[in-house]
Amino acid sequence: MNVPNVVAPLAIALLLAACGGRQDSVAHDVANAPADAFLAAVAAHCGKAYEGKVIANEPRTDAPDPFEGKRLVMHVRGCEDPAHGLRIPFHVGDDHSRTWVISRTETGLRLKHDHRHQDGSPDAVTMYGGDSKPPGTAQRQSFPVDADSVAMFRKADMLPSVHNTWAMDIEPDQRFIYELTRPGGRRFQVEFDLSKPVALPPAPWGSSTP
């Protein structure tokens, strides 16, 4: 038996496999880089709160606007492990029911909306959202509605929401924008001034930490 003739092809195969594995790993890292950079940019504001204002709310309707005349504040918290996710309560006046939950997935980011009642119990419509549309950028990530959320909206007879796309934009130390759009012209945006931290708001409803 000619040992070298057996070992050489095996060594080459192992080398190619190793190289292929490194290439796959590099490609995976490159694809995820915008999501990681976006998450890091938001996490840089952990522990701080910022005031915002509605900059788009279209089309206008005759229904009462829950945001009009209310102080709007976002608070970047839940930062124990920023690499895996963040919790960002969105306070609307004295309503502390809303929290944006951003977490990592294998291919990008996931946005969920945690809605609570004042006693901390979950709302009937909660934890809806979607996974980011790759690759996104370090400044902007968009989240088309996912199947579980579509089913939830249908059950709650919120049919327009089955076409939702949410997005978040960040200009480090300048501004953060939360956005909701859907076909038919629906567009809602809140812009927060990241250059001026404000006093921390109360803990969101349902939080186990102050």
- The answer to whether residue 159 is domain-embedded is yes
Domain of 167 in residue numbering reads as 31-198
Number of domains forming the structure of the chain: 1
- CATH number for the domain including 189? 2.40.128.20
Summarize pLDDT for 27-48 with one digit per residue, the tens. 445 557 999 999 999 999 999 9
99, part of any domain: yes
Residues 168, 145: Cα–Cα separation, whole Å: 14
The mean of the pLDDT values for the chain is 87
CA distance 139 to 123: 31
Reported as a single tens digit per residue, the pLDDT across 154-182 is 999 999 999 999 999 999 999 999 999 99
- Of 62 and 121, the structure prediction assigns the larger pLDDT to 121
Q: What span, in angstroms and rounded, lies between the C-alpha atoms of 119 and 98?
A: 13
96 and 205 Cβ atoms separated by less than 8 Å? yes
Tell me what the mean pLDDT of segment 50-70 comes to. 91
Is 9 among the domain residues? no
**What average pLDDT does the segment 91-120 reach?**
96
State percent of the chain over pLDDT 90: 74
pLDDT surpasses 50 at 120: yes
Question: In this structure, what is the dihedral angle of CA atoms 117, 91, 70, 41, given to the nearest 10 degrees?
Answer: -150
Residue of 112, 37, 126 whose CA lies nearest to 82: 37
Give the pLDDT confidence score for residue 20 in this predicted structure: 58
Mean pLDDT of 125-145: 97
* Dihedrals phi, psi of 58, to nearest 5 degrees: -125, 150
| pTM attached to this predicted model | 0.84
**Residue 43 CA neighbour count, 13 Å, CB half:** 19
Q: Is residue 22 part of a domain?
A: no
Rounded mean pLDDT, 3-13? 43
